[in-house]
Amino acid sequence: MAIYVDGDTQVLVQGITGKQGSFHAGQMLAYGTKVVAGVSPGKGGQKVHDIPVYDTVQAACAEHSIHASIIFVPAAFAKDAALEAFHSGIKLVAVITEHIPVHDAMEIMAQAKIHGATVVGPNTYGLVSSGLCKIGIMPNNFFKPGKIGVVARSGTLSYEIVGNLLEAGYGTSTVVGLGGDRIVGLSFVDVLQEFEKDAETEAIVMVGEIGGNAEEEAAEFIKSSMDTPVVAYLAGKSAPEGKRMGHAGAIIERGKGTFASKESALKNAGVPVADLPFEVPKLLEEILTGRRGK
């Protein structure tokens, strides 16, 4: 089992004829994802990796049953692409595009709510239910089936953690990248909630970073409502205060969203926090052994 997507999920690629879109459509196919169609206005009728390309999402949906979409179009057109997907009734939309204006992101989220759609990202590597379906840009070889759920804000850092897990013999159930922007569709709490319901996810690794208060909210949720054990890693311990470290969300302001506040909230919720990425498997081992011992 897995959350959000599984082996039956049929996927559309918006922006499939672009450099990133075509490359990753191929990678997703190679992973085993059912990429059934692509969209690129003006390129309708072409094929990319043998995937049929349509001019509009509407046209693609008329020919295929599509459950999820992944968006690669440039920032200036990403909002429109997302709305297009919502209007055609697609209920899961992963927005890979980065540098989307924050006002556009707010509109995307407001529209998603009206249409009952789930947005992963923007500025995310996507999500993958290991061995079943990858909707994203993560390297294929690290995502092997297993019982550990992973949810992270940052992309490469998740790969790092997932790589360490794999090294230690842990496969993953589903790995979700929330996205690095200030406004993203899913929160840690949203994803933890799903994992909690997923019988086959035995433990969860949460990869947070400084800025915002999503980790603190997650800590509260874990404390009040979760049974599945959670282990965390937090990036940004060494970041000097007030310096912006690339993500809009990673601004340390007014003493909120600091490493210390996140670490203490999580520890307070019984979540072990790793000092370094490669320590995560060890903490996981400890917490799972403890559980099994009970």
Partner 1 sequence: MKYFEYMGKSLFKEYGIPVPDGAVAETPDEAAEITKKLGSAVIKSQVLTGGRGKAGGVKFADSPEEAGKAAEELLGQEIKGYKVERVLVEEKLNIEKELYLAITIDSTKKSPVLIASTKGGMDIEEVPEEYIVKKNIDVLTGMEPFVIREIVSELGFDFKAETSKQFMKIVSKLYQAFRALDAELMEINPLVIADGQVIAADAKVTIDDCARYRQKDLPYVEEKTVIEKKAAELGLAYVELEGDIAVMANGAGMSMATLDILQYYGGKPANFLDAGGGAGSETMARAIELLLEKKPRVIFINIFGGITRCDDVANAITQVLGQQKIEIPVVIRLVGTNEEEGRRILEAQSLSAYNLMHEAAQKAVELARK
> Applying CB under 8 A, does 76 fall inside the site for partner 1?
yes
User: What is the rounded distance in angstroms from the CA atom of residue 168 to the CA atom of residue 163?
Assistant: 9
Q: Which of residues 183-212 bind partner 1 (CB under 8 A)?
A: 183, 187, 207, 209-210, 212
Q: Which of residues 214-253 bind partner 1 (CB under 8 A)?
A: 214, 217, 233, 235-240, 243-250
Residue among 65 and 238 whose Cβ is closer to partner 1: 238
> Applying CB under 8 A, does 168 fall inside the site for partner 1?
no
User: What is the rounded distance in angstroms from the CA atom of residue 66 to the CA atom of residue 54?
Assistant: 13
User: What is the rounded distance in angstroms from the CA atom of residue 30 to the CA atom of residue 192?
Assistant: 28
247 is catalytic: yes
> Applying CB under 8 A, does 99 fall inside the site for partner 1?
yes
Q: In angstroms, what is the minimal distance from the CB of 15 to partner 1?
A: 13
> Applying CB under 8 A, does 58 fall inside the site for partner 1?
yes
Q: In angstroms, what is the minimal distance from the CB of 232 to partner 1?
A: 13
Q: In angstroms, what is the minimal distance from the CB of 156 to partner 1?
A: 3
Range in contact with partner 1 (rule: CB under 8 A) among 2-10, 104-112, 224-232, 285-293: 104-112
Q: Is the peptide bond before 122 cis (omega within 30 degrees of 0)?
A: yes
Provide the 3-class DSSP secondary structure of residue 175.
Answer: strand
> Applying CB under 8 A, does 156 fall inside the site for partner 1?
yes
> Applying CB under 8 A, does 265 fall inside the site for partner 1?
no
Short-list 230, 243, 245, CA closest to 195: 230
Other CB atoms within 10 Å distance of the CB of residue 5? 27
Residues 124, 95 contacting (CB under 8 angstroms): yes
Q: In angstroms, what is the minimal distance from the CB of 6 to partner 1?
A: 22
Residue among 169 and 246 whose Cβ is closer to partner 1: 246
Range in contact with partner 1 (rule: CB under 8 A) among 5-13, 133-141, 168-176, 286-294: 133-141
Q: Which of residues 3-42 bind partner 1 (CB under 8 A)?
A: 20, 24, 27, 41-42
* Distance, CA of 64 to chain centre: 25
The catalytic position among 24, 49, 103, 247 is 247
Number of residues that bind partner 1 (CB under 8 A): 79
**Helix (H), strand (E) counts: the chain:** 9, 14
- List the one residue from 6, 80, 200, 220 that touches partner 1 (CB under 8 A): 80
- List the one residue from 50, 169, 254, 293 that touches partner 1 (CB under 8 A): 254
What is the side-by-side strand order in the sheet with 203-209? 133-136, 126-129, 172-177, 145-152, 203-209, 230-235, 273-274
The DSSP symbol for 19 reads H
Instruction: For residue 141, give every residue at least 6 positions away whose Cβ sits within 8 Å of its Cβ, in sequence order, or none.
Output: none
Catalytic annotation, residues: 247
